[in-house]
Amino acid sequence: MSQARIDRTLRRMAIQVWEKLKEKEPGNNLILIGLNERGYATAQKIAQYLDEVADIKTTPHQYHVHDKAASRNVPDCNEKFVLLVDDVIFSGKTMFSALSAICNIYEPNTIEIATLIDRGHRKYPLGSDLTGIKVPTKLGEHIEVMLKKGALDQAILFKNK
């Protein structure tokens, strides 16, 4: 997946977020939380496009799922529309960990999941509310979203031998 296609996909996803906000949260009660490094880069791009297409200014927050102290860095999500963002969803373990941590501390109005790429093969009972592209993979395959200087660059499918 090229950088141009990633950009087009994330722009479309930002428009979908805007439509959901108009429907569910008329005020700007959006909290964007990007998971780990690549999810945060994805959230930054969605925030940029929300500003461009809908004049919605929001600052994405980064949540490091495997850092026990990271929950202290999550902003107040009470009575907000929380959008958890990751680059790729596979088993759902990372997303489930983030959901659990946030719901143990806060009571958002709505929590939705946005992912650039959905690989399928879920082990946890959750899905993506906003998906850029679905790429059904075999269990021996892996998709990696590459970063260049902290920004999304390309997505590559690797086949394990």
* Beta-sheet pairing, 130-134 with 61-63: unpaired
Burial (Cβ within 10 Å: 0-12, 13-18, ≥19) of residue 13:
buried
Whole-number pLDDT of residue 78: 93
Render each residue's pLDDT in the chain as its tens digit; 161 residues. 888 898 999 999 999 999 988 887 666 789 999 999 999 999 999 999 999 998 888 999 999 988 876 666 788 999 999 999 999 888 889 999 999 989 988 999 999 999 998 888 778 888 889 999 998 888 788 788 888 888 888 888 888 76
pLDDT of residue 43: 96
Q: Which two tokens stand for residue 45?
A: 């791009």
pTM of the model: 0.89
Domain total of the chain: 1
Q: Which domain covers residue 126, as residue numbers? A: 3-159
CATH of the domain at 91: 3.40.50.2020
Q: How far apart are CA 58 and CA 77, in angstroms?
A: 14
